[in-house]
Chain A
């Protein structure tokens, strides 16, 4: 991120940070009081309703990238850039029917790792754990780093303090409240983010009508209005596949499928996807208004906050600070909870202490959350630079897992050989193309190679999986 002058006074930034920190930690402790065992802690008692379910699906997917990168995408790739970003919602929409099936096939499941272990055996499970932990930890670290960088850019709070506070707050309320706290705060955070985006959008439109924005773009940057903008069209495929792979495999989404009340999972993910779809457009178009509003943009990654601060002044700067803080918290808490559950269930319970009691598992999950927080903090503290490249590097790994999951959930003929080969061959081919051709080919090639192998293995297999094996007793 290029250095620009902070939009808010650091003292005001600290006041806002303190107020929201107290609110989230207080709610986490309050909601955590009812958690008696691991199931309560990790899956909120498997009883999440439609409103909280839809809100958490949308809020978790609204990261700081959505609110900060969408305007940058619009500024660089125009209208197609906003639409390309919105296609990430297809991950949630297509996961909706899968979530309902997961809930009914695995009524006692805890993690996406449970599915791989029961469906494909221990070798596939091991490969899956390596892939998903690499991706989840990278995402977690990149979010915490983004927190420090954004709070610094918006309010002048030092990187180390901003990153430490946002991470510390998320660790505290996730540790104490588990998934119930994560989902409860997600609901409030999603309402704040959506309401903030509406207010900001109306404020910008009150200053400059869409026709004027269009006229300015036609005169100054016509490429942003081009229907055939090749780079932007390419971004659609990358975003779409990355979104599908991320949602289909990550325990962030599987844990919610297990946690939603029976009959709610499919509807909640579909509504979450619909809620998310317009967010990159509503957050992104304000960047297109920068020219018509004569807002100088020294750094494209700060275009959103700069336009909002110009239109709404100090109130706008406060609004952006709150929106970004909520976007960060809603993703960091979910990653902490889901990764902690994966390590507790798949590593501690299944590999180290199979006889651990539910109480003990809950305690372990809390300590693992703390450990993840400390690990993330230690990696982030030196501010080694952007992790966006590493996250894109994970694209082939994510893409290679799409077909083993989809076919494993729906086809009795999907095989272990298919899943293992699909993940390894897909990831290898995707990574080779990532380095030899370009980042935008990684996920695409990995998905295609994995699909061919997985489908071919299933086509020529005589084995038929017994779905009852997924109903493992807890």
Chain B
């Protein structure tokens, strides 16, 4: 029996700035049977997306397929002409992009874009295409399947748009669909719905799927087999069960280990409970827009939040996007002055605006941003980036400053030779370490970490978390850790605050094995994918909890 997809000895090359060609995929073999789902998993730069794109016969600009065959339904996508490939795209192979929001044209209605494939290939009359689309919307459990097609992309939510992108891919009745990290940008609660819809539709239509992801737990729910990629080479291929329970390759083991960050690694808070809290916030409110007649801003993002951080302990703030957790961090840091409430830091009242705070107060409270790409000045060397706070806060210059920069690089486990590089010459994980080292340079008492691991791969993120714990033991820091990723927060925090629509709904102490009580926290905690492949099918989101969301 022949397989639907047969990849043999596939190599892809990319050109460097100096015109040299280097191999980024080094000989990949893979078979996919009809109706089977295979997941490509690996860190960023492992070549998983490049491998998936070859099924479309596509290589990104600057890349070329240099060898091997990619047979899809009997056609070799490598040797076909561009015209023949176009004929197969959308009808035999289809693609669902990572960011549906960027993939839809904001100026056309959703229906027009979903049925565009049938128009291009002349598959069916528009009326029939519309009927099929509505049937797909229904199968993907979209709300209002008859009317949603008349809306524009900005009128539906991110999770709905992702499902609509899947409908767009499925309308031409393809035999293979490529999902490129389709749920990475979604909240966990939304991700559950989207995954369910994908799984149901692809199973019903017996479509073979290639699912590209770096999230092993998501893949465990949806795939039959997993292919682990690293540096353009296949590390391991096997059934989901085998990979999860009997990984043979060291990298797969590392990946699995990164999924269970050991919470036990943290030593108990060294300072006794009776000491005054380092940071205390009372009924803090903050928002955006011009002040209204009642003195509040137009949109209130944080509504009367109170919290406490004791010396040497960590506080986690968790919630879905738009719940106000980042706004809270920004108003604590003084970037967005709060409109109400008060902030006590280190026994003193803090001004709401950073401008009015003293030099020492600014130094003691540092914030680390999510995107190291934009938080590091691309025009400056690592040395200058780390050196500036040393000069600014501690007056270090010359050799003393150089020595301290070296010490900081050692602290965040980066080679000293990196000091002369620019941020663009570092990897994502390295950049985030520099970003963090800059906050350490100030020698602060408290560091606000705003989603610092969410842009990183699981393995890299786990390494950063370990680093944070270690530095805390050595330097006696406190962290306020903001994230939407529960496993990260559980690994490092002594106390977790669940935020929902600008308010705190619950405080949880993981050490006390405390279970969430509030319906929203329950929903949030139960939506985090587990490695168990049966998790999605057995997950029971009871209607009462769904209503809160």
Q: Check if A and B associate.
A: no
Give B contacts to A, CB under 8 Å: none
